[in-house]
A = this chain, B = another copy of it.
Amino acid sequence: MMRMEKPPAPLIVPDPDDPRLTQRVSGIDQTGVTVEIKVPVERPLTLYLNAQEIVTMMTIGDYPEYLALGYLLNQNMLKYDDVVTEVEYDDDLQVVVVRTEHHTNFEAKLKKRTQTSGCAQGTAFGDLLEAVESVALPKAELRTSWLYRMTHAINTMPSLYLEAGAIHGCVLCKESEPVCYTEDVGRHNAVDKIAGWIYRHGVDPADKILYTTGRLTSEMVIKTVRMGIPILISRSGFTAWGVDLALSGAERIIYDQNLAYIEEESARSKRKGEGRDD
| Contact between chains at B113 and A185 (CB < 8 Å) | no
A122 within 8 A of B: yes
Given the interface contacts A58-B219, A116-B57, does A277 sit within 8 Å of B213 by beta carbon? yes
Q: How many residues of A contact B (CB 8 A)?
A: 68
| Contact between chains at A115 and B213 (CB < 8 Å) | no
Stretch at the interface among A21-29, A96-104, A130-138: A21-29
A13 within 8 A of B: no
A10 within 8 A of B: no
A1 within 8 A of B: no
Q: How far is the CB of A90 from chain B (nearest CB, A)?
A: 18
Given the interface contacts A118-B119, A122-B113, A250-B28, does A277 sit within 8 Å of B237 by beta carbon? yes
The residue on B at minimum CB distance from A25 is B243
A-B contact pairs, 26 of them (CB 8 A): A27-B243, A28-B250, A28-B253, A41-B239, A41-B240, A42-B239, A57-B116, A58-B117, A58-B118, A58-B217, A58-B218, A59-B117, A115-B120, A117-B186, A118-B186, A118-B278, A119-B119, A119-B278, A166-B215, A166-B237, A167-B237, A215-B277, A235-B274, A235-B277, A236-B277, A278-B278
- Ranked nearest first, the 3 interchain pairs of A and B with the lowest CB-CB distance are A166-B237, A278-B278, A58-B117
Chain A residues within 8 Å of B, Cβ to Cβ? 22-23, 25, 27-28, 30-32, 39-44, 53, 55-59, 112-122, 125, 144, 165-168, 184-187, 189, 213-215, 217-219, 235-243, 248, 250, 253, 255, 259, 273-278
